[in-house]
Structure 1
Amino acid sequence: LPAAGVEIGELNWLAEAPEPGAEVELQIRHGAEPAPARVERVGERLTARFHEPQRAVTPGQSGVVFRGDRLLGGGRIRRGVRNPEALTAARGAA
């Protein structure tokens, strides 16, 4: 099933972490084009909502965060989030 969003843990930032509400691109599969997304929360984990639902959001794979051509950082995908309301409810809770 397609995922409305993603939760990424074990974060490693190479640049300043994006703020909630920031527009970013997330690469969730090797060789895939990064998908546009909006950051919902950042703390020990990053939670983001995709602009369009994404397939194959797989726990354990790398999730890489870009802003345009700039690599911001990344981590390990913890889970795909299927329910968009769960993303909004989590906003602000780190």
Structure 2
Amino acid sequence: MLPPTPRGRLRWALTEASIVLGILLFWVVAVFAIGILVALLTAPIRLFGFDPVFFTGVPGTLSGAVVPMAVVTAGLYALVRTGVLLIDHWHGVRQ
């Protein structure tokens, strides 16, 4: 349930906001790590003078997908948290 005091609610809201920020940072770090992995995989191919056509659009595609992936993940988190709050509220009302 939500804390009864305004200070407690502010702390709760800041905690939830930091979790959503953590979700965004997770996706940014994940895409950065995948970009490094793709660069490491294509380095030997480029060393021999070939163009790694298969991996050409991977970093650009992933960097464009960071925000949608973060929005979907944060949306699912918010939906689950809302459901938990509603269930807790309903359970508290029935007692």
Query: Normalised by the size of structure 2, how large is the TM-score?
Result: 0.19
Higher Cα radius of gyration: 2
Which is richer in strand?
1
Query: Normalised by the size of structure 1, how large is the TM-score?
Result: 0.19
Which is richer in helix?
2
